[in-house]
Amino acid sequence: MIRKTFSFLPGIEAKTQASLNAQGISDWHDFLSSSSVTGMSSKRKSYYDRQLTEAGKQLKYGNASYFASSLAKDDHWRLYDHFKEEACFLDIETTGLSHQASVTVVGLFDGFTTKSMIKGINLDIEGLKEELSKYKMLVTFNGSVFDVPFLERRFPGLVPNIPHMDLRFVCKKVGLVGGLKNIEAELGIGRRDLVEGMSGGDALTLWRMYKSTGDDHYLNLLVEYNEEDVINLKRIADTVYCQLSTGK
């Protein structure tokens, strides 16, 4: 789907994209193969040819940062099929929403294995930064509003400059609205019995219970809840991307 958008080219807006599509130019190959474009000067066409050729090279080389900087955030989802094998599905738990709140759990999922980094146990910021540097795409739910800004305020420079697919906003494109649990229900995605029906408020309570009692039972429940979050992010991303790319 990335090759079907021209939005990262300077001066290309929705109206211009629609004009290109109306002329039968639906992707980069069509544009580069056209000797001219109606309503576009030859000089401008030549400039865009060079930009698209360069974008093609960067995509081939797997340079995710190139697109993170040039592509509108609303279009980062278009890179999912290309980078999904090197994507990090991320979700954090915190002690609240205030400026004094801290991160309790950082959950990561690479599509095969989950990794939980827990405050006071194995949440090492340098280690987390090294872990995140392995990936070429970030997938979250509402992460552009909460998770990433929260992490960046406390640990500047932690999150790498890679495309970010925020499923909260991508889901809206296919009519899926509400919180993560609501969308999971709409898609028929379940959770393990122990954490079925739990919410973010319950996660905070589990952390407080763990800290006050020292009972690992509460911590294990919190980690399991977070693991379900990150695993289900992939299920949702796969489903929504398929709907957007096929128009179904």
Residue range 128-187, pLDDT digits in tens: 999 999 999 999 999 999 999 999 999 999 999 999 999 999 999 999 999 999 999 999
Nearest to 205 by CA among 91, 95, 98: 95
Helices (H) then strands (E): counts for the chain: 11, 5
What's the distance, CA 149 to chain centroid?
14
The two tokens of residue 234 are 């992939």
**162: which DSSP letter?**
-
Q: What is the pLDDT of residues 46-64, one digit of tens each?
A: 999 999 999 999 999 999 9
**pTM for the predicted model, two decimal places:** 0.93
Domains observed in the chain: 2-61 (1.10.150), 81-246 (3.30.420.10)
